[in-house]
């Protein structure tokens, strides 16, 4: 692997960006700590309508109770990456999931195409996530089609990015958009709308790192977010039907739209065959990293 694709981090970045953009869903500790992080910074008065706040708190509870959902999304991250993703995510206990990721544009997508991968299957398991590569890429791995990224190995990567990505991958409930709205001090009820034939209530707000405290602020700063508009559509069961996020990253414009359905669906995620799996940590060692 003289091209150094693992040492330069192309493949882990592609998968991690995909899952981070899709889930956007960190839990930030237990209930008390998440409540503390949901207070506006600087002591400024919150402008959250009490009814909207109560409704979004109900979404938190209902989502945690549901435990799983089917997700489909589109994401664009400046000129870096555009993709489509679909699959199942579960968060009842430890996070699990199975996703199909298709790269549709951006510099990273062009790099992946050159390496023979236009799409990828990803599996989230309690100890690691697994990325499946195409036959052309597998030839670089002595015929193995899966790469295992242990969360402990990712968390130990220098610079703090590994810990951030690990937290994202281990917490897959679609709660961060809701918590961002609650914490921003700027959320309003837009009205009732139909989304894919389902009756929903639409809430919207604008978020900046400066408006947040604690873990939420740290997460946005780590991701390079300077400002973000968040919209969520909630059904009569207090569950997200749709969410959009649009804003500015340090690397350019970002936009993401996700739809959720089939809450409570049973998820069966199996570990790929060991003989067909390469370990990311071992691959990094072969690069002298």
pLDDT (tens digit per residue) in 223-261: 677 788 999 999 999 999 999 999 877 667 889 999 999
Among 9-18, 95-104, 173-182, the minimum mean pLDDT is found in: 9-18
The per-residue pLDDT of the chain, averaged, comes to 80
- Between CA 197 and CA 242 the distance in angstroms is 12
Query: How far apart, in whole angstroms, are the C-alpha atoms of residue 220 and residue 223?
Result: 5
- Top-confidence residue, 189 or 43: 189
In this prediction, residue 283 carries a pLDDT of 81
CA dist., res. 5 & res. 151, Å (int)? 20
Q: Is the dihedral of CA 258, 100, 64, 39 positive or negative?
A: negative
163-200, pLDDT tens digit by residue?
767 777 777 889 988 988 988 888 899 999 999 999 99
More confident residue, 262 or 11: 262
On the question of pLDDT at 42 being above 80, the answer is no
> What pTM value is reported for the model?
0.82
Q: Encoding tokens for residue 40?
A: 């506006």
**What is the band of 17 on the pLDDT scale with cuts at 50, 70, 90?**
low
- What is the rounded average pLDDT of the residues 107-116? 78
Q: Pull the structure tokens for residue 95.
A: 């996070």
What kind and span of H or E run contains 50?
helix 50-66
Q: Write down the pLDDT at residue 199.
A: 97
Percent of the chain with pLDDT over 70: 79
pLDDT at 115 over 50: yes
Among the listed residues 238, 234, 262, 242, the one whose alpha carbon sits nearest the alpha carbon of residue 62: 238
pLDDT at 287: 58
Please tell me the predicted confidence (pLDDT) of residue 106: 87
């Amino acid at each position: 692997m003289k091209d150094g694709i693992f040492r330069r981090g192309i493949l882990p970045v592609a998968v991690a960006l995909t899952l981070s953009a899709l889930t956007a869903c960190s839990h930030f500790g237990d209930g008390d700590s998440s409540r503390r992080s949901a207070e506006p910074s600087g002591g400024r008065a919150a402008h959250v309508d009490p009814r909207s706040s109560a409704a979004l708190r109900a979404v938190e509870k209902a989502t945690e109770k549901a435990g799983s959902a089917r997700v489909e999304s589109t994401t664009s991250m400046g000129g870096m990456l555009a993709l489509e993703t679909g699959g199942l995510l579960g968060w009842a206990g430890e996070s699990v999931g199975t996703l199909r990721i298709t790269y549709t544009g951006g510099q990273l997508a062009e790099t992946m195409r050159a390496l023979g991968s236009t799409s990828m299957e990803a599996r989230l398991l309690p100890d690691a996530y697994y990325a499946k590569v195409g036959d052309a890429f597998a030839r670089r791995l002595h015929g193995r089609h899966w790469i295992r990224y242990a969360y402990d190995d990712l968390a130990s990567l220098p610079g703090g990015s590994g810990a951030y990505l690990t937290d994202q991958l281990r917490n897959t409930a679609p709660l961060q958009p809701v918590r961002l709205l609650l914490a921003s001090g700027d959320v309003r009820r837009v009205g009732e709308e139909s989304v894919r034939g389902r009756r929903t209530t639409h809430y919207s707000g604008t978020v900046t790192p400066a408006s947040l405290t604690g873990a939420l602020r740290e997460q946005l700063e780590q991701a390079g977010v300077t400002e973000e508009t968040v919209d969520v559509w909630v059904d009569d069961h207090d569950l997200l039907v749709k969410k959009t996020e649009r804003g500015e990253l340090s690397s350019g414009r970002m936009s993401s739209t996700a739809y959720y359905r089939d809450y409570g669906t049973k998820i069966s995620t199996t570990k790929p065959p060991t003989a067909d799996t390469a370990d990311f940590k071992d691959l990094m060692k072969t690069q002298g990293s």
